[in-house]
Amino acid sequence: MKYIVSILFLGLSLGQISAQSITLEGAILGQGSVYRPMTYQGIQWIGDSQDKAYFSNYYSEIHRLKPGSKDPEKIITLADIKQSCDDEIAHLWGTEFKDNQTAIIHTKSAYYEYNFEDKKATKILGFPANAENKTLNGNLLAYTLKNNLYLADAGHTKIPVTKFRDKNIVSGQAIARSEFGITGGIFWSPSGKHLAFYQKNEKEVADYPLLDITATPGELKSIKYPMAGQKSENARIGIYNIETKSTIYLKVEGDMEQYLTNFAWGPNEAFVYVAIVNRDQDHMQLVQFNASTGAMNNILFEEKHPKYVEPENPAWFIPGKDDQFIWMSERDGFMHLYLYNTEGKQLKQLTSGKWVVKQILGTDNKNKNVIIETTDESGLNTVARSVNLKSGKSIVISKGEGVHHFDLNPNGIHMIDEYSNVETPGVQRVIDTKGKLIEPLITAKSPFKPGEIGTTELVTLKAGDDGTPLHARMIKPANFDPGKKYPVLVYVYGGPHAQMVTNSWLGGASLWMHYMANKGYIIWTLDNRGSANRGRDFENIIHRQLGTVEMEDQLVGVKFLKAQDYVDDTKMAVHGWSFGGFMTTSLMLRKAGTFKVGVAGGPVTDWKYYEIMYGERYMDRPEQNKEGYADASLLNHADKLEGDLLLIHGTVDDVVVMQHNLSLVKAFVDNGILVDFFPYPNHPHNVRGKDRVHLYKKVLTYIEDKLNH
Amino acid sequence: MKYIVSILFLGLSLGQISAQSITLEGAILGQGSVYRPMTYQGIQWIGDSQDKAYFSNYYSEIHRLKPGSKDPEKIITLADIKQSCDDEIAHLWGTEFKDNQTAIIHTKSAYYEYNFEDKKATKILGFPANAENKTLNGNLLAYTLKNNLYLADAGHTKIPVTKFRDKNIVSGQAIARSEFGITGGIFWSPSGKHLAFYQKNEKEVADYPLLDITATPGELKSIKYPMAGQKSENARIGIYNIETKSTIYLKVEGDMEQYLTNFAWGPNEAFVYVAIVNRDQDHMQLVQFNASTGAMNNILFEEKHPKYVEPENPAWFIPGKDDQFIWMSERDGFMHLYLYNTEGKQLKQLTSGKWVVKQILGTDNKNKNVIIETTDESGLNTVARSVNLKSGKSIVISKGEGVHHFDLNPNGIHMIDEYSNVETPGVQRVIDTKGKLIEPLITAKSPFKPGEIGTTELVTLKAGDDGTPLHARMIKPANFDPGKKYPVLVYVYGGPHAQMVTNSWLGGASLWMHYMANKGYIIWTLDNRGSANRGRDFENIIHRQLGTVEMEDQLVGVKFLKAQDYVDDTKMAVHGWSFGGFMTTSLMLRKAGTFKVGVAGGPVTDWKYYEIMYGERYMDRPEQNKEGYADASLLNHADKLEGDLLLIHGTVDDVVVMQHNLSLVKAFVDNGILVDFFPYPNHPHNVRGKDRVHLYKKVLTYIEDKLNH
């Protein structure tokens, strides 16, 4: 969400970007604004009605679309809100609908109920302007300030839930560095009478120093950073009773460094459910705890895998059935649904097939079918399916090949279905949960004039060793001439949990790729094994050997490119960020000579410097996998560089700390090898905002200069 | 000394560097070894005899030269010492002579008296191997461990003098960041019965974080770094009585942040003398303290200057006269000697003239004349002078134009005179204090074959505004052809307390300049106003406007170069380090278009990030000189860059902290301007050792690439 907001504000000052020629500035800053296919932005249901709302005019207005109508009405404006609320508000982003006439709007330090029929705002509660992790539930708000957790109600803005002076004890925030699907640390109970929260004790976790250069003198901002093989955080889960103002903690047994993941409230609040994963991440137990006493009640079931298990979705209780829940698991090789009862008995495998469940959207109006979003077998497209809870029979209810996003109406009947594919910039329509088209909403035209950007082609190759299909995307310049020879820029990510190539508008590409293509380049990206949405075995082949299989697959792409008459294979460059920086540098060193130029941003250079949760899942601990760590460490391959390599890092990167890159630079210096480096001062793991234009000016200028040197 | 030792060890592995062609590696690593003119290395007197000793075979041997003899004898070898001493020793560097048959040798953790006539070593005392600031006096050693001061004697290796647990209180080390001529914090009394020491309390001084990337995870190494205008250290001076084991502290009055400089013991130990300078550095008082009680006894005299005063030489007592001392002052515009009595009465100005006293070497054998080293009027050469204490008449006693180094024999009669000039690689001879040549020792040949390096010419230009002579050095390639056009590399330092151009061998140049010259470049360096050895007004014109006059003078050099037929003025580059990095970047931004390429290492980019002592002397405090700071800040000129600029920084630079460079990079990013940067991981302010080859490969490759781009 942060990312989208930043694009939003940038958009405000983009009046000067013309659509007539794609500049680098336009490509970087305009992808979410002037070059966004003109569908209804942020479309959502208004309550359980059939009315839809969407944002307009840079999030300063919300319009309503009634069923069948093509004439939207302006129902909420920032100007009206500013008149009704006694607080600062910059935009309407984040507005949700409580019911058919009430929106929940938050300002800088308060939440309001806004009745948009009579344009009247009623303050629900206030909170400190620096509150974080705000989680509203009815008339109560939970939030964090520094390391503690607080509540706000109509009368009070700051009711402490925790009061730890020790900064190492952090409550109400995400734990485990947001792995295992953890996105926050606040869990309201269904009735709102209890508040469960994560708490981590980071006392044993090493500090990593970051420097804020904007202070005089430069100021130390240390972070807790648990590196692979070192001491980790200790987590627990508290449950706060709103009425008694008392907190109990779950009585979890076992290793203090194990992971408490996928917290879920049972429907009647008697029990809570936690997926406990051991530090080695090869064993998961779904444990039921007594929510009143914190006592462990039952281990419902467990999962093991010799490589790793990775639960990312909490138990999902079937509406209306307090004793049944759905568990999502990759245990049969693909992410599928399993129906369990609260005794831990598996009632049924609900879905199966060589496709991947991505999320549960809800149930239909009779709670007989569960509506889910999944991939298709290729992994390039997504669909909605309706799965009958009784028979397990599932049918695809969405139409149109491509990547879909769905919004299921609380009425369990209607769904907004929004999709695009390589040929289709964007379509929005209303369907029902049986798959019937209710109403077409909009079909966006391309935001580009003919010839303004090049072509996007999806290509499927086969992995060299086992013939696994690998999807790739090729962008050719608008004025592509097959009789000419083009240099190639390979953009790579290659790490787990990500997919670069999809059958969506632009094929998932960033517009800077089209800017570069139009300068006379082929831009290529291939999702190697290890990438997301292709099933467990496609992903976990990377275990204990990060980079190895990934590079082999990338070379399949390179081989394909070299075989094309229009490719100048003496001028090939590679670029990537984060895991893609690791891949880029790995390719430049371990497959030296393949690429003439590489640009690696925020690269992991040695997995021993990366974090415990992600790092140990894929690589085990350093002492458990010495050879794997040594092979993957770019520090050990620095002597092999051929060609030009530019390394880039944000100086306050708290994800891949700059030690990675500086250690690699040191290895090059130790070996007497010239290499280039550029820091982005006070930028974290990614260079965002307007400085991203500078970044890509730097990256692409370097590639052009060095390819032609 | 550290610098020389590092060159020494590098020399050990340089067997492979051939003198037949000067490579970059040879130029960087060989200047102190294979390319050193072959004079007697580290020549010194043996006691007060007329025998001389020098190091040989990479400091593994000491040879003796008897008067008139051309056959040196090997008197000390590392092998012999290793047999006699029960401790590690790596080289003989640092060996001194106690008398005509005894050398003082220190091993890793002990001092020995070594009788080289009968090859017998007697241990004086031992000390911890990690002792720092070791200062031996007879049979006692003072040294520091972390923040405390200790003594060692024959029976004890660790007798505490101070016992402060608070790490902010640092005893026995240099204070005031080694400004004001301060090089250490331990001062033995003449009798050895008392030990005076500096103590600083750094509690109020801000921490600046440095990161050691060689630890996992990267480890914080904070330093105390007092930035201009901020809180400074508080100094005091302790006097420890060896017999009573008690310490008194001088009762200094006034501002706690004033500077206690130039400590001196009076001859009979009744009094000590301290030059106290206010934080504004425009007022100095020479204060006499009672050495037994610490009470202030008398303010002997004071000096003021509207810009700054900068005492750098402690009171120097005339041997045999307990009540008279020499004070060195720039008060008449040049550094000269003044004779005072201990009542503070000025008896006489001993020297005057448009030349600069550099140091007092001692007195002649009758204590009637004081022997000093000074510059000549040009500032390019140095001479020895004998100054009659009674008449004040001074005569030059050295012969041979060039830069001399003298070693006055304790007998007050003989001096070793070692000198070189642009034509003369090195001459050593013995003269007497009346100026008579006693004995020629050696005349070194050039270590280069004819044509192997280019030519060095000294040029004198005139400053644009007042015609002040400015000295410069031009290096032309060995195969220079006046009919051709050459690109130019200007190497600049430009800051106070330094002189780049002298009439010495190679004119003071580094050999990498000759390597680069031979690639077809003119290498140029000019000492602008502000440089050392030209008198007070030449230097202090830079006050409150660092960079401004310095750049004007550099442009005089550029104008001269452009007027030469053999100069290609479309291809001019500039490079410098530290203040020279500031100058390089200032020229690239504030005189944009003059140079096509710049490479700035460890640059100051805004004086508010530089240290109090040096920074406030030249710039005053930021709030006192807002305009001056703003003009000099390169952050304010980032938008003006033309051409290519490479910025370089050692990541643990504790002199010019990396915040300077990262802030400048940020200013470039903010302005959307491309610039280059390279870090030297875990290097401090200078890149030394073998990585210096990488550094100059980087610097010179960049210049070549970008000049020809």
Q: How confident is the model at residue A84 (pLDDT cuts 50, 70, 90)?
A: confident
- A118-127, B17-26, B466-475: least confident range: B17-26
Q: Residue B670: its chain A contacts at CB < 8 A?
A: 691
Task: Tokens for A220, please give them.
Answer: 């130390």
> Could you read off the pLDDT of A22-53 as tens digits, one per residue?
899 999 999 999 999 999 999 999 999 999 99
Q: Does domain A455-680 have CATH number 3.40.50.1820?
A: yes
pLDDT confidence of residue A21: 62
pLDDT at B61 over 60: yes
Lowest mean pLDDT among A586-590, B30-34, B545-549, B694-698: B30-34
Q: Which residues of chain A are in CATH 2.140.10.30 domains? A: 128-314
Comparing CA positions, the residue from B544, B637, B625 lying closest to residue B587 is B637
Asked if the C-beta of B679 comes within 8 angstroms of chain A's C-beta atoms, the answer is: yes
pLDDT at A450: 79
Mean residue pLDDT across chain B: 95
> pLDDT per residue over A251-297, tens digit each?
999 999 999 999 999 999 999 999 999 999 999 999 999 999 999 99
pLDDT at B10: 37
Q: Do B208 and A222 touch (CB under 8 A)?
A: no
CATH 3.40.50.1820 residue spans of chain B: 455-707
With the C-alpha atoms ordered B212, B215, B220, B223, is the resulting torsion angle positive or negative? Answer: negative
Cα within 13 Å of Cα(A227), Cβ side = 21
Rounded-to-integer distance, Cα A686 and Cα A652, Å: 10
Please give the Cα distance from B484 to B566 (Å, whole number): 6
The string of pLDDT tens digits covering residues A562-571 is 999 999 999 9
In chain B, the N- to C-terminal Cα span, in Å, equals: 41
Name which of A213, A225, A709 is nearest B217 (Cβ-Cβ).
Answer: A225
Across residues B638-648, what is the average pLDDT? 98
B41-45/B52-56 β-pairing: antiparallel
Average pLDDT for residues A168-179, to the nearest whole number? 98
The answer, yes or no, to whether residue A552 has pLDDT greater than 70, is yes
| Whole-number CA gyration radius for chain B | 26
What does the pLDDT average to over B318-338? 97
Phi/psi of residue B299, nearest 5 degrees: -95, 115
pLDDT at residue B649 greater than cutoff 50: yes
Inspect the interface and report whether the beta carbons of B609 and A701 lie closer than 8 Å. Answer: no
- Asked if B708 is an interface residue toward chain A (Cβ–Cβ < 8 A), one would say no
Residues of B in contact with A214 (CB under 8 A): 663, 666
- Backbone phi and psi for residue A331, each to the nearest 5 degrees, phi listed first: -60, -25
Q: Residue A412: pLDDT above 80? A: yes
Q: What is the pLDDT of residues A493-507, one digit of tens each?
A: 999 999 999 999 999
Of the candidates B207, B665, B701, which has its C-beta nearest A681's C-beta?
B665
pLDDT at A709: 82
pLDDT tier for residue B70 given thresholds of 50, 70 and 90:
confident
Averaged pLDDT, B551-565: 98
Q: Which of A659, A665, A672 has its CB closest to that of B217? A: A659
pLDDT at A424 over 90: yes
The H or E element spanning position A662 is: helix A659-670
List pLDDT tens digits, range A441-474: 999 999 998 778 999 999 999 999 889 999 999 9
- State ipTM: 0.93
A659 CB within 8 Å of a chain B CB: yes
**pLDDT for position A1:** 23
Under a CB-based contact definition with an 8 Å cutoff, are residues B489 and B523 in contact?
yes
Least Cα distance to A274 among A266, A258, A256, A286 occurs for A286
At A94-107, the pLDDT tens digits run 999 999 999 999 99
The C-alpha atoms of residue B197 and residue B106 are separated, in whole angstroms, by 23
What's the whole-number mean pLDDT along residues A309-329? Answer: 96
Mean pLDDT of B26-31: 95
CB distance A356 to A539 below 8 Å: no
- Is the pLDDT at B9 greater than 60, yes or no? no
A653 is catalytic: yes
Beta bridge partners of A336: A329
| pLDDT band at residue A308 using 50, 70 and 90 as cut-offs | very high
The residues in B 594-653 lying below 8 A from A, measured between CB atoms, are 608-609, 651
| Dihedral sign for Cα atoms in the order A166, A170, A176, A177 | negative
Which residue of A lies nearest to B709 if distances are taken between CA atoms?
A709
Percent of chain B scored above 70 by pLDDT?
97
- Residues of chain A above pLDDT 90, percent: 95
3-class SS of residue A174: coil
Question: What average pLDDT score do residues A107-119 get?
Answer: 96
What CATH number matches the domain at A37-126, 1.10.1740, 2.20.25, 2.60.40, 2.10.270? Answer: 2.20.25
Across chain A, mean pLDDT equals: 95
Indicate the class that CATH gives domain B37-125.
mainly beta
For position B122, what pLDDT does the model report?
95
For tokens 């779904």, what's the residue? A286
Preferred mutation among A659, A697, A700 to probe B, highest tally of B CBs within 10 A: A659
Question: Using 50, 70 and 90 to split pLDDT, how confident is the model at B17?
Answer: very low
Question: What's residue B451's pLDDT?
Answer: 78
Considering only the beta carbons, identify the residue of A207, A217, A693 that sits closest to B208.
A217
Instruction: Give the whole-angstrom CA distance, residue B558 versus residue B567.
Output: 10
Q: Starting from the edge strand earliest in sequence, which strands make up the sheet with B357-363, in order?
A: B357-363, B369-375, B382-388, B394-396
How does residue B521 score in pLDDT terms, banded at 50, 70 and 90?
very high
Residue B16 has pLDDT above 70, yes or no: no
How is domain B455-707 classified at the CATH fold level?
A: Rossmann fold (3.40.50)
**Is B697 in CB contact (< 8 Å) with chain A?**
yes
pLDDT band at A86 (very low <50, low <70, confident <90, very high): confident
Q: H or E element: which one contains A115?
A: strand A110-115
Q: Is A685 a residue of the active site? A: yes
CATH number of A128-314: 2.140.10.30
What whole-number distance in Å separates Cα of residue A183 and Cα of residue A359? Answer: 15
Whether the model clears a pTM of 0.90, i.e. scores above it, the answer is yes
Q: Does A218 touch chain B if contact means CB atoms closer than 8 Å?
A: yes
Residue B487 has pLDDT above 90, yes or no: yes
Terminal-to-terminal C-alpha distance of chain A: 41
Q: Which residues of A touch B648 (CB under 8 A)?
A: none
Count of beta carbons in the 10 Å neighbourhood of residue B102? 19
Contact A296, A251 (CB under 8 A): yes
Instruction: Indicate the pairing of strand A522-526 with strand A486-491.
Output: parallel
Residues of B carrying an active site annotation: 578, 653, 685
The answer on pLDDT for B63 being more than 80 is yes
Residue intervals of chain A classified under CATH 2.20.25 are 37-126
B209 touches chain A (CB under 8 A): yes
What gap in Å lies between CA A642 and CA A662, rounded to an integer? Answer: 19
